[in-house]
Amino acid sequence: MPLEIERKFLVKGAAWRALVGESGRWIRQGYLCRDPQRTVRVRIYGEEGFLTIKTEGENISRDEFEYGIPSAHASELLERVCLRPLIEKIRYRIPWGRLTIEVDEFHGENSGLIVAEVEFPDAHTVLEPPDWLGEDVSLDLRYRNSQLAFRPYATWK
């Protein structure tokens, strides 16, 4: 069973941009189901299409089932079938010790939001956080992408 242990942080300032070695990759995604017990996500990541089911685990662990699908299907599902609004963001990967910090810079209706995600190989690995990592929002449901596709950042003010 694929298990995901992930923490999510707000990003402070722009210092992280100096650490980005590669250009970011464009992500476009939408949801067929936003129920936290069983979200179903359609994603185009670069040129690849994915269908992903996530289900609620305890605390910060979630089960994830991910399948590659033809990007033409993903594109059609996003255009015609997924709930609105879609999520659009650029993902940057920053190596950090033995871990990788993924910084997501949102666009569209979530423009202005920048969050960092760290996936841990196990529950014992420790992150030495860089200065630009802000508040831990792992348990704040508003920052879930499935929720940002329902109540986008632009509507929070």
By CB under 8 A, name the binding residues for a copy of itself. Answer: 1, 32-33, 35, 37-38, 40, 51, 53, 55, 63, 65, 67, 69, 73, 76-77, 80-83
Judged by CB, which is closer to a copy of itself: 17, or 38? 38
Question: Residue 54 is encoded by which pair of tokens?
Answer: 């996530």
Q: Which neighbouring-strand residues pair with 41?
A: 31, 52
Judged by CB, which is closer to a copy of itself: 81, or 139? 81
Judged by CB, which is closer to a copy of itself: 23, or 37? 37
Q: How far apart are CA 60 and CA 73, in angstroms?
A: 31
Q: Quote the least distance from Cβ 83 to a copy of itself, whole Å.
A: 8
- Give the other-Cβ count within 10 Å of 133's Cβ: 20
Q: Which neighbouring-strand residues pair with 42?
A: 30, 51
* 153 a catalytic residue: no
Residue with tokens 């476009």, as numbered in its chain? 28
Q: Quote the least distance from Cβ 113 to a copy of itself, whole Å.
A: 26
Q: Quote the least distance from Cβ 94 to a copy of itself, whole Å.
A: 31
* 89 and 25 Cβ atoms separated by less than 8 Å: no
* 139 and 60 Cβ atoms separated by less than 8 Å: yes
Catalytic site residues? 31
